[in-house]
Amino acid sequence: MRRCAKWRGGHSFVLSWLRNKEGVAALCFLLPSVTGFVVFFLLPFGMGFYYSLLDSPVDGSFTGLTNYRDLLGNPMFRRAAVNTSLFTGICVPLNMLLSLGLAMLLNRKLPFRSTYRIAFLTPLVIPVASVVLVWKALFDLHGSLNGLLAGWGFVPKDWMESEAALFVVMIVYLWKNIGYNMILFLAGLQNIPNDYYEAASIDGAGRFRQWRSITLIYLTPTAFFVLLMSIINSFKVFRETYLIAGEYPDASIYMLQHYMNNMFKALDYQKLTSAAFLMALGIVLLVWFIFLIERRISKMFG
């Protein structure tokens, strides 16, 4: 009886909402987006998860979590997962610190400030393929950097075929994403009223105390958004890495996307879908943890 009452209450609410002209208009506008989400995301997501539980995509039998267990025991997958986690754990904090420092610097009255802002945004509009040619010419065994080092008496080094490849990919990631995060932080800084700093200065607070008690507090929402976008963008560095180092790069930059791409070419859909869902689960848990911390900090300072 209670379920029937709840269903009737919800049904009457939907009918009353549909009778409203604004509700019908909103439904018409939302319907294409919802349809696209279901057809191009929700259904493939469910089918991929279903295939990850089979032993073959064609006439396969149900194997449960066997593919996931085999995947976790695969040394190449474990290496890819460790490299991806290490890359994200190092690059994301560096990206946030550098972009925040640049935003604070450009928030002051400096000559050619607008020119600097445009220069840091330039990497966002440059095509990836053309950028890769520059990085290849710079870090190749016979490239510009080795030529410069040889002129100083150093031995040339194949940067992309050694552990130094990880630092090259980090430089590419930071070069690509610092400008975007800098603009976000700059917008957050400009939204902080100057009256707060003036009042704190009258009360005897120094610059560091003002930065800690005012700037960081009011930048908290922006910082969490930048953190979230930085984590997402760290998983997109595969494009540059793939174009620079190829399908099988040095072990230090062998990422999860490399593993899934190779499984796709090998037509091993079970490992591909299992790895994709494990990566998606890790990202969802990480984002959920970030939102949980953001809510607690907002309640603390709200």
Q: What is the pLDDT of residues 60-74, one digit of tens each?
A: 778 778 888 888 888
pLDDT of residue 12: 59
Q: How much is the pTM?
A: 0.77
Rounded CA gap, 217 and 211, in Å? 9
Q: Which pLDDT tens digit goes with each residue over 1-30? A: 444 444 444 555 555 655 566 667 777 788
- Shared-domain flag, residues 20 and 108: no
Contact status, residue 255 vs residue 79, Cβ threshold 8 Å:
no
Q: Which residues of 7-36 are buried (b: 16+ CB within 10 A; e: fewer)?
A: eeeeeeeeeeeeeeeeeeeeeeeeeeeeee
117 and 242 both lie in a single domain: yes
Of residues 81 and 156, more confidently modeled: 81
Give me the mean pLDDT over the 211-221 stretch. 82
pLDDT at 16: 61
* Statement: residue 202 has pLDDT above 50: yes
Task: Tell me, yes or no, whether 293 and 151 share the same domain.
Answer: yes
- Same domain as 163, residue 24: no
CA nearest to 104, candidates 190, 229, 197? 190
Classify 54 as helix, strand or coil. Answer: strand
In a domain, 53, yes or no: no
> For the ranges 90-99, 170-179, 212-221, which has the lowest average pLDDT?
212-221
Structural domain contains residue 119: yes
pLDDT value of residue 127? 75
Does residue 33 form part of some domain?
A: yes
**Highest mean pLDDT (candidates 96-105, 116-125, 164-173, 264-273):** 96-105
Among 105, 124, 100, 84, residue whose Cα is nearest residue 227: 100
Tokens coding 127? 């095509």
Nearest Cα to Cα of residue 85 among 242, 255, 275: 255
Q: Are residues 135 and 232 in the same domain?
A: yes
Same domain for 175 and 29, yes or no, is: no
Q: Is residue 163 part of a domain?
A: yes
Question: Highest mean pLDDT: which of 43-52, 99-108, 116-125, 209-218?
Answer: 99-108
Q: What is the mean pLDDT of the chain?
A: 80
Residue 171 half-sphere exposure toward CB, CA atoms < 13 A: 14
Tokens of 179: 């400008």
pLDDT at 94: 92
Sign of CA dihedral 26, 27, 31, 32: negative
141 and 262 assigned to the same domain: yes
- Kindly calculate the radius of gyration of the chain based on its CA atoms and give it in whole angstroms: 25
Query: Helix or strand or coil: residue 157?
Result: coil
Domain check: are 83 and 29 in the same one?
A: no
Contact 17, 23 (CB under 8 A): yes
* pLDDT at residue 23, as a whole number: 65
Residues 203, 288 within the same domain: yes
CATH of the domain at 198: 1.10.3720.10
Residues 29 and 76 both lie in one domain = no
Domain membership of residue 56 (yes or no) is: no
Number of folded domains that form the chain = 2
**pLDDT over 60 (residue 182):** yes
Asked if the model's pLDDT at residue 227 lies above 70, the reply is yes
Residues 172, 138: Cα–Cα separation, whole Å: 12
For 232-288, what is each residue's pLDDT tens digit?
Answer: 888 888 777 877 777 777 788 888 888 888 888 887 888 888 888 888 888 888 888
300: which 2 tokens? 């603390």
* 236 contacts: CB under 8 Å, gap ≥ 6: none
**Domain span including residue 19:** 2-41
Q: What pLDDT, on a 0 to 100 scale, did the predictor assign at position 291?
A: 84
